[in-house]
Structure 1
């Protein structure tokens, strides 16, 4: 083994390559310079490849570059040995290096064949350019969508401002009408001038009707517009969850999530307020509806039962209040001629006021403790001898004071605090419906500890 290694590194009986060139100086220098330059080139190329691999760590098969660099290094060493053997004939060592180079080159060639399908699968420059164009097109579409969203937000703000101004304008008109009504209030005298009040009831619905229905009509369109714009905003946020920084800042500044949550609630509140105004106008129209076409033959017991069923939710117990019992003592009444809608309005007003009085009474612990009987409303009917029917509606709530009793049927008189529902027309309208429209009687009696009782007398026939 020692002799083999000695033979491997020794020149033995071989002669250097220089003898083959007859030590011709120009020829020796030619081979020396050529092999040296080739070796330097082979050594520099792997250094460049290593630098390239270190900077491009995203390459899918960087190992082939390392293998190719090893092949170049081996080739460079063989050329170094070409220079060395010009003077030192260690041909065994030189041949071994060439064999190593051959193995590396053969392995590289085999692996290149196996790698070729993967290399061919890489996108071409034309494909990359096409992909870039598609990405640029998507970016443009994204920017257009963002611009459309900004435009929609601006239009939404403008639309809300316009609708708000319109609603404010209509509200001012309503306030003006109510101001005129309050001015008329001071000129109304309860009983003798009831004919003037009837004329007022006839004219008021016409003046208030158009502004209120203008508000209701616009609220429908506002809801549609707002729903459409909010759907657009939600669709944009679903498709483009990461908008541009400027849009993100704008969304944060205007608190878009709060607007999307609060705006529908505002519209609902406006709709409820408008519906309440329509209810007031309808009450006015009911009180002023005097044409003969509305006269009907009616069963008052059936009407009363329908009204009680309609008000049943207010009669059931709620938190902080007791159940209100309804006691019926119906007599044998014939069907009568009447303006049924107006009569129903009278029943609703009187029973509704009784429910409110009993509810307020139950909220007072001291009053509730001193009251032996549970809250109740008693409805009694009977036929009188003078071709009239009598309806008595009483409750065991608090008494009505003498000062309130004097103004009970005055227009716009109310005992409710400012801001609560009611403007003092309910009982005034009821009094006009019974005494003027039906030529009957409506009175109220009250005594301490006995609550209040309303007595209605109307003729069987309006002829």
Structure 2
């Protein structure tokens, strides 16, 4: 038996102190360090075991026990290091290291499968955030419940209010329908009155023109300059009144619904230019036009738009050294199809752009240029009734451009 203990404790083997040359400072350095490590390593396992026993909810208890065993074994190896400073018990020290190695290996094998599971456990901050989210949802549910209760309490009042609103809306709709019907009848009566008035006025105006022309023909040579000038003024005034009567009749009829047909705008433009042929030749205006293409619409509406705008351009560019009127298509867009009429005439100051589109609005007092004040109003009424746009781009002395945009067919 004594031989076993001698073999285990190794009294015949040289202790580690020989390696330190029994230098006191070096010996105590290693011994004190190993003592502190040993005490620490022996304390930690008890703390881990105490924690596991107090917290039954902790997961991976086996891992805690393996760490406790591994750390305790590490402490035992340092304890053997202290003993081996004075005794050469290397077999015993090797046995302790073997136990430590097995404990270390077991801990290493056990820890790797547990790591993914441990990482999947929510952190404290995540749990707090989740708890806060749950609390917010609870508060939101309570708020919604209170809102539902409030809405439920107010439902009866809302139903009654809505019932009153519907009744008022039906009454208002009835009033609007009656008003619209009355306005339609009034517009129809006014239109008929304008047409009848225009028709009745044409005969007396024609008679005045014929008598004045006859008087000029019969007394032309015997009339002095003042007399001839008076007859000229009578004929001019008569012509303006006739034009105004025609314009009033056209204005009263421009809102009539016509048949929507496929329109060749280039053919229609040529027809309009033929109608204006005398004015074109008289003024010497240059007409430039680009292809306008096809569209769907009421032919008379487009004819009136072209006739009034081109006629307007011819009239107000006539005083220019090289009078010119251009007609072309507007860039296609989702807003509709359109064309422009541009002249190099006297132009329109910006503050009058909206006013010039009103009925009987005339800005120029020159008898040679003053129109009836109806043409642009006709254009404005046509585009408004059709849901389109009439825009003015002009400045005084720089010509004018009128842009017509009609809804896409």
Using the size of structure 2 for normalisation, the TM-score is 0.43
Point out the structure with max Rg over C-alpha: 2
TM-score (norm 1): 0.38
